[in-house]
Chains A and B, each alone.
Chain A
Amino acid sequence: MTAGKQAVRPLNTCLRCIRQPASSNVSLPAAPSRFFSSSTRNSEEAQLQKSDQFSDLDPRLVDNKRDEKRLIKTGVLPIGSRRRRAALRTAPDIPFEQLPYQCFQEARKVLQEDRQEKIRQIEVIRKRIANLESQDAAVGGETGVKEGRLRSMRNHLEELKIFADVNDPIVKKRFEDGEGDMNKPIYRYLADRKWRQHKRMVLMQRVTQMNLVPDVLPKIDPVADVDLAFGRRNVQPGEIVDSRVSEMVPRLRVQVFDKGERLVTVVVVDADVPVPEKDMFTYRCHFIASNIPLSPTNTSVALSRLDPKVDVSKEAPPKHIALPWSPPWANKGAPYHRLAVFVLQQAEGEIVDTAKVAKNTKRDGFILRSFMDKHNLKTVGITMFRTQWDEGMAGVMERAGLGDQVNVVFKRKRVEKLPYKKKDPSRYH
């Protein structure tokens, strides 16, 4: 971007108010000199025919529809949202250190001093932790006391690491641009805070209002952000999903906010399977996959690609999938089914034997509470969707081998009236 271009940009913005320029991103000398005309000049149109004119369209900066289309035609997709691109266009790309605002620079100095102070404190507390660790447990008294002190000091250390960076404008910018490195505690902290501010609240509202909390698990405290999608279709928590969409295996994006690798098990449970004989509901398990590695930077869990098809001759037990995906279905007339997707963390260093799970687990009447107890699992993430009878459900059921259920329709049971007892007529005299 040349300086001359930058200088005339405000002028160009003014011109845009009068009339959309032929191409705001191309070189400026071609800008119109006829301010009060709203039609294009023939010569301009002729110029536009040349394709090499759009070669300097910047995918980071195009901000109108026409330019985007041209760019896409050349095979390059614009980056980010149009709003962001427009903001970038108007904001000069000067690094913070060179911004000509005195107050801003003074404030940066103060923040940097504070950061140095925090770094010094971090060094001190690291030394103290090392000292305490090297000390004999018997010196300080009971072992529990020493462990408690160590724990609180480590917590304080983590706190200091965040305090050191949380006010840094560059960190803030990078996080907002989505360039934060999730291996660093500050970006994990910011992401966690952002998640808790809105997304988690919505999730918890859905989970409690639709009574997943007492029905499937006694309590849930999610600490990881879980996004559910079927193919390219993202699903908000609690959304009613078309049966033809949910027929395919979903895709999860699980963002954890604490450091380290861990293995997780993904379980999908239907909490509303009707049992007309007993006049009640039961559970059904639609999917179990175990031993899925997860870390702050490794967030994608494509359930369909977990176990690539190996040749049948080997007959090795699948590494991940214990129960393969069975498409959710609901009978006609039955109330909607809630399908809860749980991300359960396995205990440190434990691996779930999928072959055993596959053998011992029944899909119908699946109780998640006992499954979690048996395999020592802890809830980290949850999301949910709903399903009910729709146009495509009959086809989905046929394909899933449930053809006999297609014609089963649920109807309301008639409630018997209570016998009417005639009151004693004498009371009316």
Chain B
Amino acid sequence: MLLPRIYAPARAVIALSKASRSTIIRSSHALDALRFANAPFLSPTLTIVRNASHQSQGRANGAKDGPGKRLGAKKTGEEYVIPGNIIFKQRGTVWFPGENCAMGRDHTIYATESGYVKYYRDPVKHPKRQYIGVAFKRHESLPYPSNAARRRRLNMLATQVEPEPELQVGIPEGDIVVGEKIASESTVRAQPRAKAGSQLLMGKNYAYREANWQIGRAAERAGVKVREFVRGDRFRAWRKSAARKAANAERRGLRAKKRK
């Protein structure tokens, strides 16, 4: 450490001594020479600055005072909690989630069942960890015995639900003709049985929807028949186009009203 610091002044001393031997009285001690060389009045070209060896600003000395993070226990032992209640906020896992508790993204311990908060250790699970749990009854102590059946709550209600009615399909008007809906019992059923809700599948976007083939069969299921297209039937074509125009005009009128 010391040696490099000495080099520069020493070099200066040597240079000086070479340049003006007459002005400097030779000393037998190197340190004397150094002191001599460091004297400011002797050489205006040689300026020595003492730099800071320790950062004085910023984080170097530790942020002295930030906002408090409101960590710590939010519920004491034996306190009643419901699912979702935060019991403990912490940095890292000072406490671990035990019985009927879970840990959040930032290591927050929260309750998953309603009950009474218990702070405890479980040497069977881990010898060093401390746990926070929720006991169902206040007098119970945690951990529960490891070989006994788990205590669990259903947290559900049994409700009577009416069986879902058959799909009612509106009868379309105009050119569409409605055919016979139900075939007689002796005949083989041509259409697949329409069961509302039973054949919904999870689609790409996490939404339940009918399969494409089922959608394609919807008209068939409803017994919808479209009159066959006859080439050159100008009267029908005129009727359809007139109906379309009327519908468009109506729609346009609605839009205009909305704007006002």
Which residues in window 74-133 of B have CB below 8 A to A?
Answer: 80-85, 114
With CB as the reference atom, state the residue of chain B lying closest to A408: B158
Tell me if B150 and A410 are in contact (CB < 8 A).
no
B223 to chain A minimum Cβ distance, whole angstroms, is 24
B155 to chain A minimum Cβ distance, whole angstroms, is 5
Give the contacting residue for B156; candidates A215, A216, A218, A410; CB below 8 A: A410
A417 vs B81: C-alpha distance in the bound complex, in angstroms? 10
Which residues in window 120-151 of B have CB below 8 A to A?
Answer: 146-150
A416 to chain B minimum Cβ distance, whole angstroms, is 7
Tell me if B154 and A275 are in contact (CB < 8 A).
yes
Tell me if A411 and B157 are in contact (CB < 8 A).
yes
With A415-B83, A415-B114, A418-B82 known to touch, is A211 a contact of B150 (CB < 8 Å)?
Answer: yes
Tell me if A215 and B82 are in contact (CB < 8 A).
no
Tell me if B156 and A274 are in contact (CB < 8 A).
yes
Tell me if B157 and A215 are in contact (CB < 8 A).
no
With A408-B159, A409-B159, A409-B161 known to touch, is A276 a contact of B154 (CB < 8 Å)?
Answer: yes
- Please classify the interface of chain B as helix (H, G, I), strand (E, B), loop, or mixed, using the class held by over half of its residues: loop
Tell me if B158 and A215 are in contact (CB < 8 A).
no
A282 to chain B minimum Cβ distance, whole angstroms, is 10
A342 to chain B minimum Cβ distance, whole angstroms, is 15
A383 vs B34: C-alpha distance in the bound complex, in angstroms? 89
Tell me if B198 and A391 are in contact (CB < 8 A).
yes
A218 vs B81: C-alpha distance in the bound complex, in angstroms? 30
CB of B153 closer than 8 Å to a CB of A: yes
With A281-B154, A411-B157 known to touch, is A214 a contact of B147 (CB < 8 Å)?
Answer: yes
CB of A413 closer than 8 Å to a CB of B: yes
Tell me if A280 and B152 are in contact (CB < 8 A).
yes
Give the contacting residue for B160; candidates A214, A275, A391, A408; CB below 8 A: A408
Tell me if A418 and B85 are in contact (CB < 8 A).
yes
Chain A residues near B159 (CB-CB < 8 A): 408-411
Chain B residues near A274 (CB-CB < 8 A): 154, 156, 158
Give the contacting residue for B158; candidates A214, A281, A409; CB below 8 A: A409
Tell me if B161 and A407 are in contact (CB < 8 A).
yes
Chain A residues near B82 (CB-CB < 8 A): 415-418
A409 vs B81: C-alpha distance in the bound complex, in angstroms? 28
Chain B residues near A216 (CB-CB < 8 A): 149
CB of A198 closer than 8 Å to a CB of B: no
A334 vs B80: C-alpha distance in the bound complex, in angstroms? 27
Chain B residues near A276 (CB-CB < 8 A): 154, 156-158
CB of A128 closer than 8 Å to a CB of B: no
CB of A246 closer than 8 Å to a CB of B: no
CB of B173 closer than 8 Å to a CB of A: no
CB of A388 closer than 8 Å to a CB of B: no
With A407-B162, A415-B114 known to touch, is A333 a contact of B154 (CB < 8 Å)?
Answer: no
Chain B residues near A413 (CB-CB < 8 A): 155-157
Tell me if B85 and A280 are in contact (CB < 8 A).
no
A selection of 29 A-B contacts at a CB cut-off of 8 Å is A211-B150, A214-B146, A214-B147, A214-B148, A214-B149, A215-B149, A215-B150, A216-B149, A218-B147, A274-B156, A276-B154, A276-B157, A279-B154, A279-B155, A280-B152, A280-B153, A281-B152, A281-B154, A331-B158, A333-B156, A407-B160, A408-B159, A408-B160, A408-B161, A411-B156, A413-B156, A415-B84, A416-B82, A418-B85
Given known contacts A276-B157, A409-B160, A418-B85, what 13 new A-B pairs fall within 8 Å (CB)? A215-B149, A215-B150, A216-B149, A274-B156, A275-B154, A279-B154, A281-B152, A391-B198, A409-B161, A410-B158, A411-B156, A412-B155, A412-B157
